[in-house]
Amino acid sequence: MFTVISILLALCSSSLCGTAQNVRSIPKHILLGAASSAFQVEGAWNIDGKTESIADHLVHSQKCYAKDCSNADVAANSYYMYKRDVEMLRELGVDFYRFSLSWTRILPTGFPDKVNEAGVQYYSNLIDELLKYKIQPVVTIFHWDLPQKLQQLGGWTNPHIVNWYGDFARVAFSLFGDRVKYWITINEPHQLCHYGYGSPYIPPAMNLTGEADYLCSKNVLLAHARGYHIYDKEFRLWQEGMIFITINAEWFEPESEHDYEAAIDANQFWWGLYTHPILSRSGDYPEIVKHRIAVMSTKQGLLRSRLPELSSEEINYIRGTTDILGLNHYTSYLAYRNASTEEYYGNITGPSFDADCGAMNYQPGDWQIGETNATMYAPWGFYKLLTFIRFEYDNIPVFITENGFGNSGALIDDDRVLYYRGYLSAMLDAICDGSHIVGYTTWSLMDSFEWPNGYSIRIGLYQVDYNNTSLPRTPRKSAYVYKEIIRSRTLDMNYEPDMTIPLSVDNSTSNRLTHI
């Protein structure tokens, strides 16, 4: 005989996992929130003691680094408008807000010899404002905006940055750890190293592929581990928080049955390079990555691999250094390798990340669901990624720290609504099959400076009017839909909001000030 509890559990499971359901339940333990990063929204780039970061330097030294020749000197002006930002979070009803610290706003010299009180006060005020309304701060210590002074010393290619980063992390824990319970060490190491040091796309745009990016990779892993160990040994006992890294992982699917090896290699090169040293039982870089880079290095006449070796001590120092896995995901790719691919990459004589990987990739045109191809729609890839992580890494708890859709910025953003519904549904499918998901984050809360795209691509739940000096924020349709998802804890594929009613704070429900 079914008990009342078993019947309720069966109904809950049916509404979550039923394949024919248009309305799906979202488990109550999953935290729902939104995100931003310091450089992309704060503005006030040289105000109140803040000094130049590599991002500031790039947009000022290359006036048209962004395709619309814009910069982030003012951006969304969140340095002055943080209370409105928190009000937006209250309108949505989120459980948490993920934001990052500007290294140069807190440590103007890059080192802890001088702590900038104005910068400290800004973040302290933001944290207090969030907690006032029971919104958890999820704080990213480093989101790409390295002090320019440290870049002049070699940046992430200089092994001393492991200590420099550790010093900054310790300052952050000391200043804010009494109120912050979720710490992210470093955001998206692949993007930081590959696109910042191996390509010209994000700061510092060094464009030294197959060399600087691998030096960066090793130092980022060690710096992350340094931050983790500092928190674990010096702060965890009395602050009672958790600390983890956020890795961006797009899924590479084989184009055909002959391309499984190409897809495996692509996944290992693009993000296994970082997950394997931290999450695998053996540690170290993936064997296929070490092998391919070593072979290519030998063919190029080098005396040693361009991928710097991790010593046994370093492997042990890095392995296991994350409480959960922070995961950013936006889209997927089809990967392949054939005779023409081998010939093309075989003719590359110098260092090259792409040649080392040896896999080509692309996205079919029918994955485009909006007027731009800024973000292509393949939610099945999200499910496959989460499932791979479940099997490969002992079902480590996953906090999805970014997922979002870029378009041209209309308020009626049905393409973004479709995207969110598809990816949230894929996440629920993974949960039904056993994946351990603890949180989900939309990127982003508001429109922001999107690196080489500037403001030409909009990705916020809230539209920012950059033509108005007051920079008003207006909720898009996706904001209304996300609010209803949070309020009802359901994913309703047919819900249509009434946008004639202003999006306002719902005081009848309170946010859950809860911990994973």
What is the phi/psi pair of residue 6, to 5°? Answer: -65, -35
List alpha helices for 154-259, DSSP H: 161-176, 189-190, 196, 212-230, 236-239
Tell me whether residue 109 is exposed, middle or buried, using C-beta atoms within 10 angstroms of its C-beta: 0 to 12, 13 to 18, 19 or more.
middle
> Contacts by 27-30 with C-beta closer than 8 Å and gap 24+?
27/431, 28/489, 29/438, 30/437, 30/438, 30/439, 30/440
Helix or strand holding residue 491 (H, E): strand 490-492
> Could you give the dihedral angle defined by the CA atoms of residues 404, 408, 409 and 413, in that order, rounded to the nearest 10 degrees?
-70
Q: Hey, what amino acid is at 212?
A: A
Query: For 366, which DSSP code?
Result: G
Distance of alpha carbon 195 from alpha carbon 208, whole angstroms: 10
Tell me whether residue 221 is exposed, middle or buried, using C-beta atoms within 10 angstroms of its C-beta: 0 to 12, 13 to 18, 19 or more.
buried
Helix, strand, coil % in the chain, rounded to nearest 5 = 45, 15, 40
Query: Could you count the other beta carbons within 10 Å of the beta carbon of residue 296?
Result: 23
Of 129, 211, 255, 402, the active-site residue reads 402
Query: Could you count the other beta carbons within 10 Å of the beta carbon of residue 451?
Result: 21
371 as an active site residue: the answer is no
Distance of alpha carbon 71 from alpha carbon 62, whole angstroms: 10
91 as an active site residue: the answer is no
Three-state DSSP state, 511: coil
Q: Exposure string (b/e) for 179-214, b if CB count within 10 Å is 16 or more?
A: bbbbbbbbbbbbbbbbbbbbbeebbbbbeebbbbbb
- Strand positions, DSSP E, 45-123: 96-100
Distance of alpha carbon 205 from alpha carbon 439, whole angstroms: 32
Residue found by looking up tokens 């049916």 in the block = 14
Of 188, 211, 253, 255, the active-site residue reads 188
Q: What are 32's two structure tokens?
A: 């729902």
Q: What are 380's two structure tokens?
A: 């099945």
Tell me whether residue 1 is exposed, middle or buried, using C-beta atoms within 10 angstroms of its C-beta: 0 to 12, 13 to 18, 19 or more.
exposed
- Which residue in 137, 235, 213 sits closest to 181, CA to CA? 137
**325 bridge partner residues:** 245, 398
Distance of alpha carbon 436 from alpha carbon 398, whole angstroms: 6
Instruction: List active site positions.
Output: 188, 402
